[in-house]
Amino acid sequence: MTISVLIADDHEGFRSGLRAILETQDDLVCVAEAGDGEQAVADVQRLRPDVAVLDIRMPRRDGLGAARAILALPGNRTQIVVLTTHDTDEYVHQAVSAGARGFLLKSMPPEELIAAVRIAARGDVLIDPSIVRRHLTRFADALDPVALPVELEQLTGREREVLQSLSRAHSNAEIARHLHIGEQTVKTHISNILRKLQLRDRTHAVAYAHLTGFAERSPRQTPPRMRA
């Protein structure tokens, strides 16, 4: 399957370089380049690419505003990957809240950028590992090192395995193969996880797993209660 990609960045040299990287892959094709957020929204509406790679800082409309506008388009199926040189916590929060499937630094190696586009195209999530590490360190400093949110006790052992697989950007098919269960069963487990943890979608489930430190735990480990 060929994945169509739109690249939006106000730096022409970066756009050209990213396009060259992506088009080394037989399954990736760049269908358009945009130099600002307004053009990106218009091109997505016209071309309906599988993935839009958006820089945060662009003229006329920034990448976060463009992401919100694209995701609000009627019948939209384009997934969003945000690229930036600025990895502030506020940008990460806004990108995830807007529904982006990836938040990556422009300094990532080319092979990881390629992987991120493929992960986004299938509806899964990838956050730059350096950002995840920073958040995990912050949580480790602030919390009891063995404590996890009490709501995780609601999950069954199998649901914890599924949540951990989600945190590693595995698709439903990959989770099913790994756990030796059917894809429909995986979907049921994910629905249960979202309901029990009061999460909006799998994007928020991935962010939740990393930011609480659950992604680093053994999936069958019974989460201890947080101290009052």
| Close Cβ partners of 72 (under 8 Å, ≥ 6 residues apart) | none
pLDDT in tens, 154-200: 899 899 999 999 888 888 999 999 999 999 999 999 999 999 998 88
% of the chain exceeding 70 in pLDDT = 83
Share of the chain above pLDDT 90, in %: 45
The domains located in the chain, with CATH, are 3-129 (3.40.50.2300), 141-216 (1.10.10.10)
Q: What pTM was estimated for this model as a whole?
A: 0.62
Q: How many C-beta atoms lie closer than 10 Å to residue 145's C-beta?
A: 8
* 214 burial level (CB within 10 Å; 0-12, 13-18, 19+): buried
